Amino acid sequence: MAMTKIDAGEWKEFQIGELFPKIRKPPVLHNRQVIEDEHGIPYIVRTKFNNGLKFRVRRNDDMIPSPAGVISFGAENATFFYQPEEFVSGRDIYYIDTRALSAGACMFLTACLQPVARKYSYSYGLFPDLLKSERIKLPADQHGSPDWAYMDSFMEKVMKESEACLENLMLADEKKTAVDISQWKEFKIGELFDKLNLGIKNPDFNKTLDVSEKKTDEFSLPLVNAKHGNNGIMFYGRKDDFDTASMAIDIVQNGAVATGDVYAQPQETGVLWDAYLIKPKCKIESKYSLMFLAVVMERAIKERFGYDDKCVWDKASQLNVMLPVDSYGRPNWAYMDSFMMKVMKESEANLENLKLVLGI
């Protein structure tokens, strides 16, 4: 089933501020001010995932929720999300008042807005005045106005096709079973890993910040830092400027969104100020085992740390993680390797299927 591609040849350009003069900044609730509650109100933060939702939080009389039916975005790490429910939010979250539009039109609009975010970064945030000055292309009706009805009907078709695709994937997935962790064992992170004390060799580096955002022949060394996504890699540097390690795990200790992110770094890697690398005490030669460890560790670490509580090694090393074990009660590296290899192959196959469905 191939989804029909959009013909944007007749679309018209519109200035965002003229379409949506009301861009609001909700009251800020920091992580320490909310209490997690699975039945509560959505807590929206500056993340590119899960519709901006960090978790749900308990309502109280002092909260002033943002309205349902709007499009939220973060000034830094900008991503646009349609919010079908009332929500509260953390720092530097804004919303476009789209309550006059249907849910389908709003979801279509978020996709059209997203290319705008590519121009902005954590150090150059997408604040309301900048967003209002931007221009986007949208389908137009015979009067030259945005064709919200077309957007709504198109999105309804997309949702139906996506649901059909999901049903097919679920049918294909019926034979798979959840991972049984009943026989897994708890290990302290600090008993499994040592923190690496990697530095900068070039004494002039701190003055010049001589790095590249893109990998080149000269700047080929991945540098991890407070980066959310892109496997934690923020810049590329010269290998002669940095101490390096390979087959290590990267933990982000500081960052508005990235604190507590954990990434496997099998390749030779350097590190900047807001992250650190740890190395398994037991020799691991497979990148898949390393990826498995990163996944289980991130879950434990993310539940504990946030922007207001830095993920320093002295604290992270004291956390426990559950791992599969062999008959001697030791971490079962062979199982982790084969399990993660299988997951990666299935993910690649599913991605190819989705590309076929979406016609990309």
Q: Indicate whether 172 belongs to any domain.
A: no
Question: Per-residue pLDDT averaged across 298-316, rounded?
Answer: 80
Do 213 and 310 belong to one domain?
A: yes
pLDDT in tens, 234-266: 889 888 888 899 999 999 988 766 788 899 898
Cα–Cα distance list, 266 to 109, 226, 250, 278, 316 (Å): 39, 18, 10, 12, 21
Same domain, 196 and 319: yes
Question: Does 167 reside within a domain?
Answer: no
Assess whether 23 and 108 both reside in one domain: yes
Tell whether 116 and 259 lie within a shared domain: no
339 in a domain, yes or no?
yes
Residue 126 covered by a domain: yes
pTM score over 0.75: no
End-to-end CA distance of the chain: 13
List CB contacts of 34: < 8 A, sequence separation 6 or more. Answer: 43, 57, 58, 88
| Residue range 13-51, pLDDT digits in tens | 999 999 999 899 999 998 889 999 888 999 999 877 788
Residues 212 and 350 grouped into a single domain: yes
Please indicate, yes or no, if residue 175 is contained in any of the structural domains: no
Mean pLDDT, residues 175-194 taken together: 76
Indicate the SS3 state at residue 342: helix
Domain edge (last residue) among 162, 194, 220: 162
CA angle 308, 277, 306 (to 5 degrees): 15
> CATH no. for residue 68?
3.90.220.20
Domain shared by 92 and 217, yes or no? no
Domain finish residue from 162, 197, 225? 162
| One domain, residues 154 and 193 | no
246 lies in the same domain as 284: yes
Q: What is the pLDDT of residue 3?
A: 45
User: What is residue 273's predicted lDDT score, i.e. its pLDDT?
Assistant: 85
Are both 215 and 145 inside the same structural domain? no
**Model pLDDT for residues 71-82, shown as the tens digit of each residue:** 999 887 678 999
Whole-number pLDDT of residue 231: 83
* Rounded Cα–Cα distance for residues 161 and 5 (Å): 13
Q: Is the pLDDT of residue 4 over 50?
A: no
Instruction: Report the pLDDT value the prediction gives residue 335, as an integer from 0 to 100.
Output: 84
354, pLDDT greater than 70 = no
Name the phi and psi angles at 158, rounded to 5.
Answer: -60, -45
Question: Contact, 246 vs 260, CB < 8 A?
Answer: no
Residue 330 domain boundaries: 185-358
Instruction: Using the predicted structure, report yes or no on whether residue 176 has a pLDDT greater than 60.
Output: no
Q: Does any domain span residue 170?
A: no
Do 250 and 265 touch, CB atoms closer than 8 A?
A: yes
> Same domain, yes or no, for 109 and 145?
yes
pLDDT for position 138: 92
**Number of structural domains in the chain:** 2
- Same domain? For 217 and 259 the reply is yes
Check whether 171 has a pLDDT greater than 70. no
Cα dihedral sign, 66-68-71-76: positive
- Residue 2 is assigned to a structural domain of this protein: no
Tell me which amino acid residue 324 is. Answer: P
130 and 233 inside one domain:
no
> Considering the chain, what is the average pLDDT of its residues?
82
Residue pair 40/58 in contact by the 8 Å Cβ criterion: yes
Question: Would residue 178 count as lying in a domain?
Answer: no
- Range with lowest mean pLDDT among 120-124, 224-228, 262-266: 120-124
